[in-house]
Amino acid sequence: MKIILMGIQGSGKSTQGSLLSEKLGIPYLSSGHIFRDIAKEVTPWGRYVKETLNAGYLISDEKTVPIIEEYLSKPEYTKGYILDGFPRTVPQAEEFRNNVDKVFYLKVSDKEALWRLSDRLDEGVREDNTLQAIRKRIKLFHDLTEPVLDYYRKLNRLIEVDGEKSIEEVFSEIVSHVSS
């Protein structure tokens, strides 16, 4: 089973991805984790990725799709995966050739996402988690990623889930669609 989780930052994708991974026995992969790992590299490419992420911008489509496809070509992903944070643009979705089974959109309001993320700001968990960067990523989601939802809706692969429900309720709803 190949699953994509979509939603604005703070919608619960990583929480649900981890739970699904455990339940289904397939790996969870976050594009954000991939790029944050690259940003740690002491190379010009690593520095570029770090500066781009810290400013709240997205890595270009031309660079993103090959990186994600390379990761997914690893043996641990042959039986399926749960992918979070990709595709973020319609060109990425169109270029991505991985026969995705289901796309779950964890729908939360901007206000709810900012409220959830305010705790993370205080913890200083990530260098790219500033209020300005988060607001920019939420705006980018609306501008660039919401059209991807329509792309998958037209392919009959999109399932909208109320991401403002409890973790357990969201998980239960996702699982009910996975097994159907």
Reported confidence tier of residue 115, pLDDT bands at 50, 70, 90: confident
Please tell me whether 59 is known to bind a ligand: yes
Please tell me whether 153 is known to bind a ligand: no
- CA 2 – CA 100 distance, rounded (Å): 5
Please tell me whether 13 is known to bind a ligand: yes
pTM of the model: 0.85
Reported confidence tier of residue 23, pLDDT bands at 50, 70, 90: very high
Architecture of the domain delimited by 2-175: 3-Layer(aba) Sandwich (3.40)
Q: Enumerate residues 6+ apart whose C-beta is below 8 A from 12.
A: 106, 108, 163, 167, 170
Altogether, the residues listed in the chain come to a count of: 180
Please tell me whether 87 is known to bind a ligand: yes
Please tell me whether 77 is known to bind a ligand: no
Q: Which two tokens stand for residue 68?
A: 């994600």
Judge whether 4 and 104 are in contact, CB under 8 Å. yes
Please tell me whether 126 is known to bind a ligand: yes
pLDDT at 127 over 60: no
Reported confidence tier of residue 34, pLDDT bands at 50, 70, 90: confident
Identity of residue 161: V
pLDDT digits (tens, 9 = 90+) for 39-96: 999 999 899 989 988 887 778 888 899 888 888 889 999 999 999 989 989 999 999 9
- CA 121 – CA 64 distance, rounded (Å): 26
